[in-house]
Amino acid sequence: MAIERTLILIKPDGVQRGLVGDIVSRFERTGMKIVGLKLMQMTNELAAQHYKDHVSKGFYAGLVKFMTSAPLVALCVEGPKAIENCRKLMGKTFCTDAQAGTIRGDLGVSRGLNLVHGSDGPEAAARELGLFFKPGELLEYSRAIDAWSWNDEDKV
Question: Catalytic residues, which ones?
Answer: 117
State how far the Cα of 26 lies from the Cα of 77, in Å rounded to an integer. Answer: 11
Q: How many residues bind ligand DAT (CB under 6 A)?
A: 9
Please give the residues from 34 up to 63 whose contact with ligand DAT meets the rule CB under 6 A.
Answer: 54, 59, 63
Residue number, nearest CB to ligand DAT: 93
**Phi-psi domain of 100 (left: phi exceeds 0; alpha: psi -120 through 50; beta: other):** beta
How far apart are CB 49 and Mg ion at their closest, in Å?
14
- Position among 34, 46, 112, 137 found at the interface with ligand DAT (CB under 6 A): 112
Cβ neighbours for 20, distance < 8 A, ≥ 6 positions apart: 10, 14, 73
Q: Which is nearer to Mg ion, 84 or 120 (CB)?
A: 120
Cβ neighbours for 80, distance < 8 A, ≥ 6 positions apart: 1, 3, 4, 150, 154, 155
How far apart are CB 142 and Mg ion at their closest, in Å?
31
Binding part of the chain for Mg ion, among 39-47, 102-110, 116-124, 126-134 by CB under 5 A, reads 116-124
Indicate whether 105 belongs to the interface with ligand DAT (CB under 6 A). Answer: no
How far apart are CB 63 and ligand DAT at their closest, in Å?
5
Contact 14, 116 (CB under 8 A): yes
Instruction: Collapse the DSSP code of 17 into the 3-class scheme (helix H, G, I; strand E, B; otherwise coil) and give the result.
Output: coil
Count of CB atoms situated within 10 Å of the CB of 15:
18
Contacts to ligand DAT by CB under 6 A: 54, 59, 63, 93, 111-112, 114, 117, 120
Contacts to Mg ion by CB under 5 A: 120
